[in-house]
Amino acid sequence: MAKRLTQKQETFTLNIFQGMTQREAWKQAGYSTNYPIAHIDRDASLLANSPKILQRFEELREKSESAAVMNVQERKEVLTEIGRANMINFVEVGQDGAWFSIDKTNLNNRALQSVQSKTVIGKDGASDAVFIRVNLHDPTKAIDLLNKMDKIYSEGSVVNVDNRKIEIIVYDQETKQLVERLISGESPKIQIDAGIQG
């Protein structure tokens, strides 16, 4: 369990876990609200992001997960079965010929997408023929999903949004006009004198 929480901290964490906003969780937990909302929001955010609250939140999340929901390891195992599957996993060969076989001992059973069979009756009492069509899930999609889960590659470009601004200070009218033209999208030719002063 997380480092010992006070009753207010535990209530605050449970409130957030149940879907309350940080501000509402703060108020419902009994913390002071006798100061500006901006300060309440700041204090609630600091508390919500403190290591012991985050640890307790993670504990609550883990406890709430149903056994029916696959965890990351299980999902990776299924995708690995799909990626490794081969028709040979489902065919047995013996003296009488070959036959299709599915049971719990077969490798990569979860790779099966569909199995269809069709019986064709032979002419004049000849023996029947059974045609079996087996479709496997696409292994490249499984590999792609595994790569995404392991963050082997990222999709699209990464955009960092921040509040930085650039201030350009100019000391003469000519430079000011040049900067304004650049900002407006023009591509003026700029000549730079690279003289060395000694």
Q: DSSP string covering 49-114, please?
A: TSHHHHHHHHHHHHHHS-TTS--HHHHHHHHHHHHH--GGGGEEEETTEEEE--STTSTTGGGEEE
pLDDT digits (tens, 9 = 90+) for 62-114: 777 666 667 778 888 888 888 888 877 777 777 877 777 777 676 677 788 88
pTM: 0.40
Asked whether residue 101 falls in the same domain as residue 127, the answer is yes
Q: Is the pLDDT of residue 192 over 70?
A: no
Report pLDDT for 81. Answer: 85
Asked whether residue 60 falls in the same domain as residue 95, the answer is no
In a domain, 158, yes or no: no
Choose the final residue of a domain: 97, 113, 144. Answer: 144
Asked whether residue 79 falls in the same domain as residue 59, the answer is no
Which residues span the domain enclosing 131? Answer: 74-144
Query: In this structure, what are the phi and psi dihedrals at residue 181, rounded to the nearest 5 degrees?
Result: -65, -40
- On average, the pLDDT of the chain sits at 79
> Mean pLDDT over residues 127-155, rounded?
80
Q: Look at the chain and report how many structural domains it folds into.
A: 2
Choose the final residue of a domain: 24, 39, 64. Answer: 64
Asked whether residue 100 falls in the same domain as residue 126, the answer is yes
In a domain, 96, yes or no: yes
With contact defined as beta carbons under 8 Å apart, do 168 and 179 qualify? yes
In a domain, 167, yes or no: no
Q: With cut-offs at 50, 70 and 90, classify the pLDDT of residue 6.
A: very high
Choose the final residue of a domain: 43, 64, 85. Answer: 64
Which range scores top for mean pLDDT: 45-59, 107-121, 157-171?
Answer: 45-59
Asked whether residue 59 falls in the same domain as residue 78, the answer is no
Chain center to CA of 113: 24
Report pLDDT for 132. Answer: 78
